Amino acid sequence: SYVVTQPPSVSMAPGQTATITCDGSKIGNRVIHWFQQKPGQAPVLVIYDTRDRPSGIPGRFAGSKSENTATLTISAVEAGDEADYYCHLWDPTSDRWVFGGGTKLTVL
């Protein structure tokens, strides 16, 4: 089955730019989604279809991808952005959904 890898943790000071990666073989050919999950809450979609933001998600959240890496970029990080972030994609080879292991963003 398709495997994607995320760094376990990322730490940034307020106002800086946080970059969370999701590595997978030829992930550039896939459509990527990103979820944010705060403690005790259900996941919230912050990026869909690799680059699009649902209504209500600030423009500080942006998605991109290259050949083997998908990236979630959070500009001007705020304390309220502290959460776990998961990449998520459909693997058409196996007809299965896949989650990355998650990245804990800490705002220092």
Q: Taking CB under 8 A as the rule, does residue 61 contact other proteins?
A: no
Of the two residues 23 and 84, which places its CB atom closer to other proteins in the complex?
84
What is the DSSP secondary-structure string of 30-96?
Answer: S-EEEEEE-TTS--EEEEBTTTB--TTS-TTEEEEE-SSEEEEEESS--GGG-EEEEEEEEETTTTE
Please give the residues from 13 up to 52 whose contact with other proteins meets the rule CB under 8 A.
33, 35, 37, 42-45, 48-49
Instruction: List the structure tokens of 43.
Output: 């996941």
Q: Taking CB under 8 A as the rule, does residue 58 contact other proteins?
A: no
| Positions that interact with other proteins (CB under 8 A) | 1, 33, 35, 37, 42-45, 48-49, 54, 84, 86, 88, 90, 92, 94-102
